[in-house]
Amino acid sequence: LRSPKNREKKIDFVSEITQTFHNAVFLTQEEFDQIMDTIDSLLSHSEASNLLSNGVAEVTGYFICPITGVRKRIRIDFLSYNVHCLVDIKTSREIEWEAGLRRSFEAYDYPFQFANYDHGIEVITKKRPEHTAMIAIDNQFPYEVEVYEVDEEYKLVGNYEYIRASERLRECIDKMDFPKSNKEIIATEMSP
């Protein structure tokens, strides 16, 4: 198997594939099986499957923010035509809301991210998404799936933070002053 002739065949095969498919990605059997099991879990979840059945994946949009005048780019996991819904897909060790996903949702400021997406879609299409959903996929076998609709309270918080940050950015642009949080050298200390 590891003869010079076989190594040469392997090099030729990889070269041929990468020339034919410019963005070729090579996977191990384990990685391939994991992807297929994840897809099976998504398709067997009726709500997730419905959300992902009619729309566009990996939507990239460009727009000029009316608040800041800055060109922005958004990259949405999936825009569902079925229910005019923005869908974000997250993998996590914990997909139960109260058991840990909520903590990640808030810590990574997903409401702000969704407000940015909603705003971008509204500027580009002149219509705000009716729903925002998050599909959470357990990154461990058996790759369980949960679907969450982002509620109005999170949307209000996200919109408030998004508008506030946009207005602050506009002020910084106008003054050409972008303050940093700390302009001094900070000494590090080893914990005892």
DSSP letters spanning 40-79: HHHHHSHHHHHHTSSEEEEEEEEEE-TTT--EEEEEEEEE
Looking at the chain, the whole-number percentage of residues with pLDDT higher than 70 is 96
Quick one: tokens of 104?
């990640």
> For residue 41, what pLDDT is reported?
92
What pTM does this model have? Answer: 0.77
DSSP tag of 94: -
Could you report the per-residue pLDDT of 34-74, keeping only the tens digit for each? 999 999 999 999 999 999 988 999 989 999 999 899 999 99
CA–CA distance, 3 with 105 (Å, rounded to integer): 51
> For residue 1, what pLDDT is reported?
55
Low-confidence stretches of the chain (pLDDT < 70) are 1-2, 82-83, 181-183, 192
Q: Is the peptide bond before 142 cis (omega within 30 degrees of 0)?
A: yes
Could you report the per-residue pLDDT of 128-141, keeping only the tens digit for each? 899 999 999 999 99
> For residue 100, what pLDDT is reported?
86
- Whole-number average pLDDT of the chain: 88
